[in-house]
A and B are shown apart, each in its own frame.
Chain A
């Protein structure tokens, strides 16, 4: 699928075709000849102040998506967990030029709204509007990024909203489990290991704190603007120059990679009366810049990361223990984890865990059949095409490559690297990266039901349960 100057074709299965023209052949008709797929062609720009921009003209639908990604997230807030979040919320309360309602009206007239989202590594100011309005949207995003009002008058309300959001988030079993898992693998001293603040801590932040944070962390060097969809390229380039050309370079990107924990833990959190146990079983693996990462993605899809995967087929389609099990590779800058996540019937918590571990062990013990692996590789190739066939997805893919500093040929060679994975390699990766004795287990569930079950698992010791 695709590349800048070359085009690839989709890897396809050869299926036997039966006589064409029969009413209903007994076997699925074979696919037609694979179609050519070209990767969208990005235009990359760098301004004198270090700001970068990537433009992708894509599709015929008259809409455009613009995202300004600033490498300023909770990582940069350090011990002040969610100060980046508070800053992001306050950035939506108007600019030095326009009040909050005016900003909302301006964005609505362009056919959308501007939102600010904050995660561990970045703050993203984004909008999605009618095609002809791209330059105006870029101007509005620039205004919010560079000159937010961060009004003291709105701080109390915004803090209240965040306190409510925090409380509601932490009432979710899945959020509790993810927090416990992150805390163990990344350590509570690193922002990656501390996804939530205490209520007292959050309540202590002021608009002044947000202003200090904004001043210290926003600037051209840390910023990358993505534009994808239909737009007038000359007008967009002109807007980028005029809106961001005189932005101060600001601070360099902060690199602060956590010391990850390689030892296992068993974390049990009580949720009395819960009809399901929310489980995470996982560990730290290599990050996206490692050459094993794409092969690990293949292994993950086969093991638990797709509907047809082994763990899903087992605990859902065979046993009926759960509805939406999945394994995933989850990454931040220079770190990643692999984990299986599932909400399973309380009574079958240990049964589910035993099956998950059995599937991991089976993959280590024997390479998957070539046909099964080929099917997964085809699936991943198809998903890659989809991921490059929609303006929002295109930006996601580019952001991923940029965040992790992946080489320019990353996208061009992705499919080849997927295709090159062998059954033996999948088995080797499982053995190397998923050692059973270092898997961390988190269970959020009704512990009086769950604990006696766990005692029956041979990889759980008595001390794990105390």
Chain B
């Protein structure tokens, strides 16, 4: 099948199945035209590293000329006037942007239900949530609408939907990928990362988008990420609160590993991760949303946004006003430092940490989950953001036909090691290679 034929097939699939899944908010109107140009390059052997791959982009990342709505009425008709650095890099390597993916409004949520344009459904468990906030990106890959996708991960927004939808999703170390052109949720925690059906494809996309960028002062030089042959490795497994069936599945998966020493580790303040994460997010999100005043573009955010976005804005405002006491944001930053140190110390004794990506199975779309319960579902993913380390979620198997992800966390800037471990585990029985 030629590349153009593949793109036609995927566009037909989107047309036919997206009404149900709601993963794609906007199809790139020039996709076919651009595919023909890329195919010419492929034939003349002058194509870039992403030639032949189609990519869906979360709607909080600017793609020139397309609608970066953040799945919000605030930016419903907003057209991006420039390419984010990651998009520029993808285009330079001949990746084809197939469309803009749905998400929780302004990346606020863990379920995919908070989009102003309707919830995304989980292609691999249709009555369950797809996870969030990069719900559409994960669902688009799982549904076969595209080969790859980009999401953003502030507290698990790549890894959570990857786990729920049964695909691979990766959050790089803070600084590895430029955030220029990402409409921020919480600038000290946000990172852009890849989704794919397998570990190798996620690695190719990460290698394209990583690197220092003069437009993002927090971005860093990083080495090429490679899958290497593993010698004997030591994996740390913390005792975390999670559904017993999920824990059993992960434990069984770990028993399959050869040449791996499994050791129990302690992370004493891990139970405070959610309580530490949200005050930081509320405060930084309140600050980030002050530009949405409806004067230069879009609509005033408080007048049109959904409940979760409003909750974070009002909560963030409250914190900012009361912050002279240092009770919320400052205290949360202090505990963030403590959790980071504990994770770093644990990682000094092992090569990587493995745990479930989510402590619960993706819940039913129509269930009434409280705000606190939804926040608690992020308890295991927020750790990597608080510690600024890389983490990858790969499919570990299923519980009652519902996908379950396992998370591999490594020291800062050890992307190659966690990709190598992920590749090894994913290549075992049941993994999609």
A, B from the same assembly:
no
B residues at A contact (CB < 8 Å): none
A residues at B contact (CB < 8 Å): none
